[in-house]
Amino acid sequence: MNYILPSMNDKLRVIIIGASGGIGRAFIELLKNSTQVEVVYALSRNIGHSESKKIINMKIDLSCEKSIQTAAAELITTGSFDLCIIATGLLQNEKINPEKNIKSLKQSSFLKSFTINTIGPALVAKYFIPLLRKDKKSVLAALSARVGSISDNYIGGWYAYRASKAALNMIIKCLAIELLRKSKTQIILGLHPGTVDTNLSKPFQKNVPREKLFSADYSARKLLKVINNATVNESGLFLAWDGSVISF
């Protein structure tokens, strides 16, 4: 058997939220090619199309609690899950530009960034943690970003994105503490994927040295290794693609 996550169950049932994103897609590609994986539920706002019978596409909108609840209610009827990765996120769109200075702060940018980067993943945790198996290792991992580390912030800017990811890190820590009281098998992780060549980073890549700009495939492989190595002792931590701990 081609084991992709050897520390976990023999027949993996996985949920990827943000299936249309650069890193989300890379996770799905890697998982689909492993014989250890039984099924991948690929969730996104626009339902994709897949040739593989292992991949089941479903709809979710992180800005709508009802949509998150409905997706979880549908998934629970299929059985329990080993792994759920939240690979959604928002840095910029037609209305939001990462702020360079205090003059550019906008209420609407904060509200949208927190809705997608913080509140969405928190509500996913609310409805999806009950789907995770309890008899063996299971993991809920959310993609955060190193720029959400307060202690690592030396250059400022990107107020809404940084703040929404810092708040996400706090949510992850709270979830881990609460879960540890009830379960020694369910693990919550915050993950930094590195700087990855996706639509999200495209407008900001020009000053990134080539060797520091990862392909989505490379980043996803590294993050799966981090997930595989994680034990309950790492629950609540913010871990980088190479397994190192990032301070909050």
Q: Retrieve residue 67's tokens.
A: 């949509």
Q: Retrieve residue 151's tokens.
A: 């202690």
Please compute, for residue 152, the number of CA atoms within 13 A of its CA located in the half-sphere on the CB side: 16
* Sites of contact with ligand NAP (CB under 6 A): 18, 20-24, 44-46, 60-63, 87-90, 116, 143, 145, 192-193, 195-196, 198-201
Long-range contacts of 48-53 (CB under 8 A, 24+ apart): 48/19, 48/20
Task: Please report how close the Cβ of residue 184 comes to ligand NAP at its closest, in angstroms.
Answer: 28
Q: Which is nearer to ligand NAP, 52 or 199 (CB)?
A: 199
Q: Which is nearer to ligand NAP, 215 or 229 (CB)?
A: 215
Task: Please report how close the Cβ of residue 107 comes to ligand NAP at its closest, in angstroms.
Answer: 18
Three-class SS of residue 194? coil
Task: Please report how close the Cβ of residue 233 comes to ligand NAP at its closest, in angstroms.
Answer: 24
Q: Which is nearer to ligand NAP, 116 or 187 (CB)?
A: 116
Q: Retrieve residue 193's tokens.
A: 């994927």
Three-class SS of residue 107? helix
> How many residues can be counted in the chain?
248
Task: Please report how close the Cβ of residue 81 comes to ligand NAP at its closest, in angstroms.
Answer: 18
Task: Please report how close the Cβ of residue 238 comes to ligand NAP at its closest, in angstroms.
Answer: 11
Q: Which helix (H) or strand (E) holds 57?
A: strand 55-59
Task: Please report how close the Cβ of residue 86 comes to ligand NAP at its closest, in angstroms.
Answer: 8
Closest CA to 17 of 92, 128, 99: 128
Q: Which is nearer to ligand NAP, 13 or 25 (CB)?
A: 25
Q: Which is nearer to ligand NAP, 81 or 238 (CB)?
A: 238
Q: Which is nearer to ligand NAP, 143 or 176 (CB)?
A: 143
Q: Which is nearer to ligand NAP, 137 or 161 (CB)?
A: 161
Task: Please report how close the Cβ of residue 43 comes to ligand NAP at its closest, in angstroms.
Answer: 8
